[in-house]
Structure 1
Amino acid sequence: TYGLLAMWGYMDQAEGLEKAVANFLKGQALDSTSAEYYMSFVGREFWGEWHFQEAYTHIRQALTVNPFHTDALEAMTELLLANGYFAEAQTYIGEALRVDPLSANHHYTRANLYYYQQKYAVALQHVTRALEMDPSLALAQELRLQCHIHLGDRETVEALLAERPSEGGTLPRLLFACLHETPPDLAAEDIAAWTESVRHKAGLVPYILFLLANHPDHTEAAMDLLRELITMRRGQVMNYRYEPFLAPLRARPDFAALHVSPLQLPGEASAFDRVTDSSPDPKELAAQKARLLAEVEERHAYLDPQLSLRSLAEAIDIHPNKLSFLINDQFGQNFNEFINQYRLTHFKTLALDPENRHLTLLGLAFESGFNSKTVFNTFFKKQEGMTPRAWLKRQGE
């Protein structure tokens, strides 16, 4: 417990680790044949030091002693998740739920597995179950908010933020804008204050890191902060390799080198190696770019209001992380900026067509692929410096 508190920033790191080691030594002296004995290594190796292979060995030993040890089953789930073995992780959390189906934390952990696979609707089903069992489970509350941010559900995001006024909603709202609207201007002093806060104060979700990672002007700052938090072994970023909010960073050549302690299961290649290419090939990038432009410009993928990074990636047969990198590297934009630029051009064509005079501007925006009045108006004004109606009036002058 002390180790977890230290790694998540809820107590001084040196003090927490010192107390954790002291209790670990006491546990060793009590019973070296119990599952708890082997689990006492895990807190230090897994959460404290990120030594995944050693932690795996001790969790397996604990489960050999007691195959129904729910803490060990959940720890194995989290360890496998951190290393991208999602199918294997599902097996362990499924067993934990079979042993204890009323554990809110087990349902949260299963939701987390779906979240890291970007299956947000399914994740919400399980996180809802967790919150039904324990409405105060803070990690589940945050996961629910994160899912709705990814889904672009502004109304629900605002409702959830209204339920937690003491925790503030500035950073989640700015993150939402980066993902689904127009990246906001961020003052240097605000970034400095938010970054300092995440370094020294407890917080379940590092929203400032996610905001910087998704802002086209601040990806370098995001990498610096992520590197620092990894060095500190902060629990909030243990799953950084598969965090959907960090997708814009994942294809960078320096991302794979951030932390090297891969978990190797018997007979398996490293799961991270299966999705990460640390040195994108120029010819491959050119081919990917050609497929992207064909899908967007020739097949007009941008007209689909439900188009997402994941669905577009599937259409052109590329991993979503690599698509995010491709758009950022080749066009200097994030996914939403890239797609909305095409939608804006299409809207202008429709708006200037005399045959469409009987249609509202919002109706034309929806026909162009925009799925929200707010997103359309915000993006239009950001690009043109005026409202859609003012722009149309100027075209007729």
Structure 2
Amino acid sequence: MINSKSIAVLPFTNRSSDPDNESFSDGLTEEIINSLTGVSGLKVIARTSSFAYKNVNEDVRKIGGELNVSLILEGSIRKSKDKIRITAQLIRTSDGFHIWSETFDRQLPEIFELQDEISLLIADKIRENYGHLDVGEQLFKVSTRNVAAYQHYLKAKQLYNTWDMTGFASAAKEYEKSIAADPTFDLPYFGAGLSYSFLGSWGTMKKEEAFKRVNHFFSAGNMLNIASSTRFYSIAKHLFWGLWEFDKAYKSLSKAYEMLPQDASNNEFMSEMNALVGNFLLAKKHIESSIEINPLSPTHYYTKAQILFLQDQLSEAIAILDKGIAIDPTFSISQELRISCSILLGHEDTFRKALDSFNLDTGKLFHALYRLVHYNQDFDDDLLQNVYTSRFKPLLAWDLYVLVHKKKYNEALELLRKKVENRMGQVLYLKYDPWLKPLYGNETFREIVLGSCPKNNIITASPDKTRSIRLTGSEAEEFREKLMAVMESEKLYLEPKLGLKDIADKVGLHPNKLSWLLNEILHKNFYEFVNEYRLKDFQTRAMDSKNRHLSILGLALESGFNSKSVFNDFFKKTVGRTPKDWLKQQQAQ
């Protein structure tokens, strides 16, 4: 069943003549996604899955079914010099009904306020139509007023999201341009730091030089003293993958998670951390949350498969990897893990078919490794050198695996110790790696595990942050009576543009608390509550002989309905027939 409070923000179309504005349009879309992700109780599809529909002309009803959401936000952006026009439409996926649409004409420097305005409007419209949400006073907050710095930052994020070493390197440079344009803008410092962290952790840059840059950018960002989910997440990533300081990494990630518990990346990272300490049930829970939020992300399927791989559930891991590879057939880390699982399982036919379909220039290595593992055939060590100089950049420790299965255990243990001392990501999960089973009983292996792996109690449960907006029983009754009195005496429902905040001001209650009151006490969303008054008013007017000269639509508009489609939609859902049929029946009586 589709959650009614769920939305996908499709990439806003670039209507500008300049193709360079594409990154601006994509960046604005991503920031609206990020802003809405901060609304507690709202399911927001993550960027990767939303952007799978970029330049795809597909019916929103089909997209809603594929992403399992009830709402789609789509729009366009036209940017010319210092002027910008944004159009946006909120569409119901069950029937393609347009709930809301608006056009915004602004000066470019106003883009920061506009992004927050759009995000707040969307959150309000969802709350008014579908039920209670806790909506903050501000959803989008960016710590720069420099448009050039912001544009470089958006372009850097786009490069970073390619998830390859070339992309990380290009993103780092673009983040540095953003910093140069506005040294007080905190977010690009953490983007640059994290980019260099990955470049150093996986050997694209010398680790000493890369981490020196990480420290520089993180220190400069921390000096700005701005707490954000991005900051805590970036620092946690470096502490985890780069430095293996797991306690500190968990504490930093917990802060990011508490700020954005519905963020797919935060949940995926929580999954990785729990897998490291063997808490596979909680790891699975977090990665399944990521997949629900971001169902078209190959990285999440990889992470879920890795959890199964570490539990030696290899066939199950292959099934999950195949789902991710179907989404992105070029996603190399999923290809590599699938090859790994196939070799260990010993299913030669499926191994060969998979390897042939991936069309890797390292096929000889994997065929030779298969023969070594299952037939104890000689292995040509030159093949290992080839894999590290090929276009295929290995994630797994193939050099270590070869030594283990050649039964050169002392050499394997020495190499493992060096990799651990160098904090290589390849061996972070060494305690559970199925390839290292022959070493499990070895005392030196147990010593290495004991000295490098975190204790299982560093993570005891998922961090949580509940933002409950409740009224006591007496408060709820007091404001319920006040609400009814105001609606009857002032007939607020006759105002077509009436919103939740308008009534909240009249009643003297915070909009979040009024939303909670309507949903939890009256068991209605805002539009059900207001439109019931409008419907009753319409029926009274329609039965008054003085109004027989007026059309049905005219009467509906006088009763406060703001459009024919909204009136007809609500009337049929509530009464069970069209307004015209109902009126005929009443007049015939």
TM-score by length of 1: 0.60
The amino acid across from 1:32 in the alignment is I
Q: Secondary structure at the match of 2:445?
A: coil
2:296 & 2:311 partners in 1: Cα distance?
Answer: 24
Q: Which has more radius of gyration? A: 2
1:265 to 436, 449, 457: 457
Q: Is 1:54 paired with 2:248?
A: yes
Alignment match, 1:242? 432
Within 5 Å, which residues of 2 pair with 1:99-178? 99-164=293-358, 167-178=361-372
Q: Provide the C-alpha distance between the structure 2 equivalents of 1:248 and 1:142, rounded to a whole number of angstroms.
A: 21
Q: CA 1:244 to 1:143, structure 2 compared with 1: closer, same or farther past 3 Å?
A: same
How far residue 138 of structure 1 moved from its aligned partner, in angstroms, is 0.7
Q: Which residue of 1 aligns with 2:419?
A: 229
CA distance in 2, matches of 1:39, 1:149: 35
Q: Deviations over 1:112-156 (max 9, x none)?
A: 111111111111121111111111111111111111112212123
In the alignment, what sits opposite 1:215? 406
Partner of 1:63: 257
- Of all paired residues, the percent bearing the same amino acid is 27
Q: Which digits, 9 at most, give the CA deviation of each residue in 1:301-345, with x for residues without a partner?
A: xxxxxxxxxxxxxxxxxxxxxxxxxxxxxxxxxxxxxxxxxxxxx
In 2 relative to 1, CA 29–68 (structure 1 residues): closer, same or farther, beyond 3 Å? farther
Select the residue among 255, 263, 271 that pairs with 2:445.
255
Q: 1:104 to 1:26 in 2, by over 3 A?
A: farther
Q: Which amino acid aligns with 1:220?
A: N
CA distance in 2, matches of 1:149, 1:36: 38
What residue in structure 2 maps to residue 85 of structure 1? 279
Are the structure 2 counterparts of residues 266 and 20 from structure 1 closer, same or farther at C-alpha, using a change threshold of 3 Å? closer
Whether the 8 Å contact between 2:312 and 2:434 is mirrored in structure 1 is yes
- Structure with higher helix content: 1
* 1:94 positional shift: 1.6
Using the TM superposition, give the Cα deviation of residue 266 of structure 1 relative to its aligned residue in structure 2, in angstroms: 6.5
Q: 2:38 maps to what in 1?
A: none
Structure 2, unaligned runs of 5 or more? 1-194, 461-589
Aligned residue pairs total 262
Matches within 5 A, 1:172-211: 172-181=366-375, 183-186=376-379, 190=382, 194=385, 202-211=393-402
Please tell me whether the aligned partners of residues 250 and 273 of structure 2 are also in contact (alpha carbons under 8 angstroms): yes
Q: Does 1:45 align with 2:236?
A: no
For residues 218 and 432 of structure 2, what CA distance do their matches in structure 1 show? 30
Could you give the per-residue CA deviations for residues 253-297 of structure 1, whole angstroms, max 9, x where no partner exists?
Answer: 1112223351443696xxxxxxxxxxxxxxxxxxxxxxxxxxxxx
User: What letter is aligned with 1:68?
Assistant: Q
One-letter identity of the residue aligned with 2:248: E
Asked if 1 retains the 8 angstrom alpha-carbon contact of 2:250 and 2:459, the reply is: no
Q: What code does the residue aligned with 2:406 have?
A: H
Q: Compared with structure 1, are the counterparts of its residues 118 and 166 closer, same or farther at alpha carbon in structure 2 (3 Å cutoff)?
A: closer
Report the AA paired with residue 120 of structure 1. Answer: L
Matched residues in 2 for 1:178 and 1:119: separation? 22
1:71–1:178: structure 2 CA closer, same or farther, 3 Å change rule? same
Cα pair distance change 1:261/1:241, threshold 3 Å: closer
Once the 2 structures are TM-superposed, how far is the Cα of residue 42 of structure 1 from its aligned partner? Answer: 0.9
Check conservation: 2:274, 2:282, Cα contact below 8 A: yes
The alpha-carbon distance between structure 1 residues 223 and 71, as it changes in their structure 2 partners (threshold 3 A), is: same
1:205–1:236: 8 Å Cα contact kept in structure 2?
yes
Q: How many Å separate the matches in 2 of 1:123 and 1:18?
A: 37
| Alignment TM-score, normalising by the size of structure 2 | 0.42
Q: CA separation in 1, counterparts of 2:423 and 2:271? A: 19
- 1:195 is displaced (CA, Å) by 11
Q: Which stretch shifts more, 80-89 or 256-265? A: 256-265
Q: Root-mean-square deviation (CA), in Å? A: 2.5
1:40 to 1:176, Cα distance in 2 relative to 1, 3 A: same
C-alpha change, 1:207 and 1:123, in structure 2 (3 Å) is: same
- Is the Cα–Cα contact under 8 Å of residues 171 and 207 in structure 1 kept in the other structure? no
Deviation at 1:25, TM superposition (A): 2.4
Distance (Å, rounded) in 2 between the aligned partners of 1:264 and 1:73? 19
Distance 1:267 1:245 in 2: 26
Measure the CA separation in 1 of the matches of 2:232 and 2:272: 16
Q: Is the 8 A contact 1:179 1:214 kept in 2?
A: yes
In the alignment, the residues of structure 2 paired with residue 186 and residue 95 of structure 1 have an alpha-carbon distance, to the nearest angstrom, of 42
Partner of 2:215: 21
Give 1:5's match in structure 2, choosing from 188, 199, 223: 199
SS at match of 1:167: coil
Give the distance between the partners of 1:152 and 1:89, measured in 2 at CA: 27
Give the superposition deviation at 1:163. Answer: 4.1
* Equivalent position amino acid for 2:293 in 1: V
Shift of 1:21: 2.0
C-alpha distance 58-195 of structure 1, shift in aligned 2 (>3 A): farther
| Kept in 2: contact 1:8–1:235 (CA 8 A) | yes
| Distance of aligned partners of 1:31 and 1:134 in 2 relative to their CA distance in 1, 3 Å threshold | farther
1:338 is aligned to none
Higher strand fraction (1 or 2) = 2
Q: How does 1:353-372 map to 2 (within 5 A)?
A: none
Q: Distance in 2 between matches of 1:151 and 1:70?
A: 31
List runs of 5+ in structure 1 lacking aligned partners. Answer: 269-397
Is the 1:52–1:263 contact (alpha carbons within 8 Å) kept by the matching residues of 2? no
Query: Take 2:339 and 2:246, find their aligned partners in 1: how far apart are those partners?
Result: 29
Shift of the 36–219 alpha-carbon distance from structure 1 to 2, 3 Å rule, reads same
Give secondary structure in 1 for the equivalent of 2:377.
coil
**Cα distance change, pair 197–104 in 1 and its aligned pair in 2 (3 A):** closer
Letter in 1 for 2:418: E
Letter in 1 for 2:377: P
The answer on whether the counterparts of 1:8 and 1:202 sit within 8 Å (CA) in structure 2 is: no
Q: Compute the displacement of 1:202 (Å).
A: 4.8
Report the secondary structure of 1:204's partner residue.
coil
Mean Cα displacement is larger for which, 157-166 or 85-94?
157-166
Tell me the distance in 2 between the aligned counterparts of 1:92 and 1:31: 29
